[in-house]
């Protein structure tokens, strides 16, 4: 990151390649659209490049990066809500992209159409349940479950205390348990 | 560990935050208590299930496209406007505009005052000016038109 701060494009490219998966997938889990997720992920990295001079080497890079990710997701969801393109209900519904992406995954994983359809349905339900969580709960869940962040790191991303992170995770897990009842 | 303590430790157990002895106590209680076992299965089962969500991998060429976007969005405009020569040019234009504006405003004000004075003088000359009109015209001379 120090090389990126000096404007080194090769270092920036390495940085994108190292973190692209986590950034794209985190956004996808919040937005539910793979094309949009890549578009927003690019915005995140452009923001990283532009704000590199403000990065304090004392902060862990991934917590700084995911703070930007969290803000970009927050803004995007707020923009969508404002635009009324998607009501909160629509946001929580399995969308076409989740269906398509789930199909590809299910088809690749299983040659049995019935099993593929069941797998697709489960994927859609998990995605919908995660997207339906409030922003901070969802970020805490995604960072904890998929990105392996510690409570302390999540607290830095969300700018809250460790007990607050525990509380967010607990409430999210209770909600997910209710919403996914009968699926597992 | 009792039922209440066990349930209070569900999150710590899921996130591997329990020290080894607490973990043994937790597992021992859950294995021997059907109520806690059922709740633990539901709680941990949902978390395990959520972990099966599949998300897309970055598409081929994502990093190259991001670098291209950097070039597109990296403000040709802001580099352009921030170049010293353009900053000086803008400052100069602004200064000229302000000077010209000030001069024009002063000329307008001056012309207007002259017109009002001439009008007032003409009216006084005709000796038809009452006290009321003089007071009413004063604000025009100070430029404070209604
Ligand atoms: Zn018990």
Query: Which residues 6+ apart lie within 8 Å of A17 measured at CB?
Result: B63
Query: What confidence category does residue B134 fall into, taking pLDDT thresholds of 50, 70 and 90?
Result: very low
Under 8 Å between Cβ of A7 and A57: no
pTM of the model: 0.72
Name the DSSP letter for residue A70. H
Predicted pLDDT at A180: 94
Nearest to A184 among B49, B54, B63 (CB): B49
Query: Which residues 6+ apart lie within 8 Å of A151 measured at CB?
Result: A144, A162, A165, A166, B15, B17
* Cα–Cα distance for residue pair A137/A131, rounded to 1 Å: 10
| CATH code of A41's domain | 1.10.1740.10
Q: CA A97, A85, B70: angle at the middle one, nearest 5? A: 70
| CATH code of A177's domain | 1.10.10.10
Tell me, yes or no, whether A77 lies in a domain: yes
Predicted pLDDT at B135: 33
Under 8 Å between Cβ of B23 and A182: no
Under 8 Å between Cβ of A131 and A30: yes
Helix (H) and strand (E) counts for chain B?
8, 0
Mutate to test the interface with A, among B9, B46, B52 (most CBs of A within 10 A): B46
Give the residue from A25, A50, A85 where a domain finishes: A85
In chain B, the number of structural domains is 2
- Checking if the pLDDT of B12 tops 60, the result is yes
Mutate to test the interface with B, among A25, A36, A128, A152 (most CBs of B within 10 A): A25
Nearest to A144 among B15, B46, B74 (CB): B15
CA of A168 to the centre of ligand 1 (A): 24
Cα first-last separation, chain B:
85
Query: What confidence category does residue B146 fall into, taking pLDDT thresholds of 50, 70 and 90?
Result: very low
* Cα–Cα distance for residue pair A117/A123, rounded to 1 Å: 10
> Do A79 and A118 share a domain, yes or no?
no
* Cα–Cα distance for residue pair A159/A47, rounded to 1 Å: 19
Query: What confidence category does residue A177 fall into, taking pLDDT thresholds of 50, 70 and 90?
Result: very high
Which residues of chain B have a CB within 8 Å of the CB of A13? Answer: 63, 67
Which residues of chain A have a CB within 8 Å of the CB of B10? Answer: 173
Predicted pLDDT at A162: 96
Rg (Cα) of chain B, in Å, rounded? 42
Query: Which residues 6+ apart lie within 8 Å of B7 measured at CB?
Result: B36, B39
Q: Average pLDDT of chain B?
A: 76
Shortest alpha-carbon distance between residue A96 and chain B (Å) = 14
Nearest chain B alpha carbon to A8: B67
Tell me, yes or no, whether B122 lies in a domain: yes
Under 8 Å between Cβ of B50 and A130: yes
> Do A77 and A119 share a domain, yes or no?
no
Cα first-last separation, chain A:
42
Nearest to B43 among A9, A34, A177 (CB): A177
ipTM of model: 0.82
Which residue would you say has higher pLDDT here, A58 or B26?
A: B26
Query: Could you tell me the CA-to-CA distances from A31 to A6, A17, A75, A86, B141 in Å, in that order?
Result: 33, 21, 11, 11, 66
Tell me, yes or no, whether A93 lies in a domain: no
Question: pLDDT by residue (tens digit) across B96-123?
Answer: 877 777 676 666 666 666 666 665 555 4
* Cα–Cα distance for residue pair B82/B107, rounded to 1 Å: 35
Query: What confidence category does residue B52 fall into, taking pLDDT thresholds of 50, 70 and 90?
Result: very high
The residue segments making up the domain with residue A137 are 112-184
> Do A1 and A79 share a domain, yes or no?
yes
Q: Which range is most confident: A45-54, A143-152, B127-136?
A: A143-152
* Cα–Cα distance for residue pair A126/A142, rounded to 1 Å: 12
Instruction: Using CB atoms within 10 Å of the CB of residue A136, give its burial: 0 to 12 exposed, 13 to 18 middle, 19+ buried.
Output: buried
Tell me, yes or no, whether A160 lies in a domain: yes
Nearest to B62 among A20, A50, A183 (CB): A20
Question: pLDDT by residue (tens digit) across A40-80?
Answer: 999 999 999 999 888 888 889 999 999 999 999 999 999 88
- Quick one: tokens of A155? 């607290």
Question: pLDDT by residue (tens digit) across B53-77?
Answer: 999 999 999 999 999 998 888 665 4
Tell me, yes or no, whether A3 lies in a domain: yes
> Do A68 and A4 share a domain, yes or no?
yes
Which residues of chain A have a CB within 8 Å of the CB of B43? Answer: 173, 177
- Quick one: tokens of A175? 């909600």
> Do A116 and A80 share a domain, yes or no?
no
* Cα–Cα distance for residue pair A39/A156, rounded to 1 Å: 25
Size (chain A), residues:
184
Mutate to test the interface with A, among B43, B48, B56 (most CBs of A within 10 A): B56
Which residue would you say has higher pLDDT here, A142 or A111?
A: A142
Query: What confidence category does residue A12 fall into, taking pLDDT thresholds of 50, 70 and 90?
Result: very high
The residue segments making up the domain with residue B14 are 3-53
- Checking if the pLDDT of B139 tops 60, the result is no
Predicted pLDDT at A96: 47
> Do A65 and A23 share a domain, yes or no?
yes
Nearest to B49 among A146, A169, A180 (CB): A180
Contacting B residues, span 55-94, partner chain A, CB-CB under 8 Å: 55-59, 62-63, 65-67, 69-70, 73-74
CA of B20 to the centre of ligand 1 (A): 19
Predicted pLDDT at B126: 43
Predicted pLDDT at A105: 52
Query: What confidence category does residue B143 fall into, taking pLDDT thresholds of 50, 70 and 90?
Result: very low
> Do A57 and A126 share a domain, yes or no?
no
Question: pLDDT by residue (tens digit) across A77-136?
Answer: 998 888 865 555 555 554 445 545 554 554 555 678 888 898 899 999 999 999 999 999
């Amino acid at each position: 990151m120090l090389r990126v701060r000096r404007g080194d494009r090769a270092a920036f490219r390495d940085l994108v390649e190292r973190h692209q998966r986590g950034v794209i997938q985190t956004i996808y889990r919040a937005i539910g659209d793979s094309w949009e997720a890549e578009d927003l992920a690019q915005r995140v990295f452009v923001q990283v490049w532009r704000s590199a001079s403000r990065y304090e080497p004392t902060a862990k890079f991934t917590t700084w990066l995911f703070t930007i990710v969290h803000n970009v997701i927050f803004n995007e969801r707020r923009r969508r809500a404002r635009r009324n393109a998607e009501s909160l209900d629509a946001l929580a519904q399995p969308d076409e992209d989740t269906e398509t992406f789930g199909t590809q995954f299910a088809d690749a994983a299983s040659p049995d159409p019935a099993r593929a359809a069941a797998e697709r349905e489960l994927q859609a339900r998990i995605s919908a349940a995660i997207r339906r969580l409030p922003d901070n709960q969802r970020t805490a869940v995604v960072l904890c479950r998929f990105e392996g962040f510690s409570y302390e790191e999540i607290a830095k991303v969300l700018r809250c205390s460790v007990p607050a992170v525990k509380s967010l995770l607990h409430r999210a897990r209770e909600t997910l348990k209710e919403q996914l009842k009968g699926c597992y | 560990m009792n039922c209440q303590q066990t349930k209070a430790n569900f999150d710590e157990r899921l996130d591997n935050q329990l020290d080894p002895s607490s973990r043994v106590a937790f597992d021992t209680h859950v294995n021997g208590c059907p109520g806690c076992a059922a709740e633990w299965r539901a709680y941990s089962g949902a978390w395990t299930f959520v972990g099966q969500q599949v998300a897309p991998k970055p598409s081929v060429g994502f990093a190259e496209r991001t670098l291209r976007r950097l070039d597109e969005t990296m403000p040709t405009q802001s580099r352009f406007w921030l170049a010293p020569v353009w900053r000086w040019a803008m400052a100069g234009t602004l200064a000229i505009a302000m000077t010209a504006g000030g001069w024009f405003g002063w000329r307008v004000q001056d012309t207007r005052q002259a017109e009002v004075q001439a009008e007032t003088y003409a009216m006084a000359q005709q000796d038809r000016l009452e006290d009321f009109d003089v007071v009413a015209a004063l604000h025009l001379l100070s430029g404070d038109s209604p």
